[in-house]
């Protein structure tokens, strides 16, 4: 299958690549199906893109690239909903807010996207603590 995106050109994907986010992404709750692909010429970032709206995609990165001490605890309800059986199946991503000035690029560490890569299920959660910021500086 092909997705003609607004900013990333044509992306080829297979049905098995689709990640289902039952609740969507905050502010985009109506979009449930996404694909994940690496950003061009940049190993640090990836793109999580809606296959339901060619104009909606988010730059994401691993929180561990930003803050080595990043940690979170998943509620049993999330573990059950995402059918997580082992830690190795979990991918944690955070949305990056880009800016033309590099010092103003931020990462939302407060609301990670949790993905079970084996089951292709995901959910964005909001952490119930003040340890992490919505606008954590990338640099």
What are the tens digits of pLDDT across the range 50-109?
999 999 999 999 999 999 999 999 999 999 999 999 999 999 999 999 999 999 999 999
Q: For the chain, report the end-to-end CA distance as a whole number of angstroms.
A: 37
What are the two backbone dihedrals, phi and then psi, of residue 88, each rounded to the nearest 5 degrees?
Answer: -65, -20
Sketch out the chain's domains with CATH numbers: 2-137 (2.30.290.10)
Give me the residue label for tokens 């970032």: 45
Q: Rounded distance, CA 22 to CA 80, Å?
A: 14
pLDDT of res. 43? 87
Q: Are 4 and 12 in contact (CB under 8 A)?
A: no
Q: Are 44 and 84 in contact (CB under 8 A)?
A: no
What are the tens digits of pLDDT across the range 114-132?
999 999 999 999 999 889 9
């Amino acid at each position: 299958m092909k997705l003609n995106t607004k900013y990333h050109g044509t992306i080829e994907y297979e049905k098995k690549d689709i990640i289902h986010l039952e609740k969507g992404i905050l502010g985009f709750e109506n979009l449930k199906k996404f694909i994940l692909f690496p950003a061009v010429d940049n190993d640090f970032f990836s793109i999580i893109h809606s296959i339901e709206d060619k104009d909606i995609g988010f730059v994401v990165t691993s929180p561990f690239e930003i803050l080595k001490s990043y940690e979170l605890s998943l509620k049993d309800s999330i573990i059950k909903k995402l059918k997580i059986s082992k830690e190795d199946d979990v991918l944690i991503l955070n949305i990056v807010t880009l800016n033309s000035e590099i010092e103003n690029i931020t990462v939302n560490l407060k609301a990670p996207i949790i993905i079970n890569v084996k089951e292709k299920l995901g959910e964005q959660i909001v952490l119930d603590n003040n340890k992490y910021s919505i606008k954590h500086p990338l640099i």
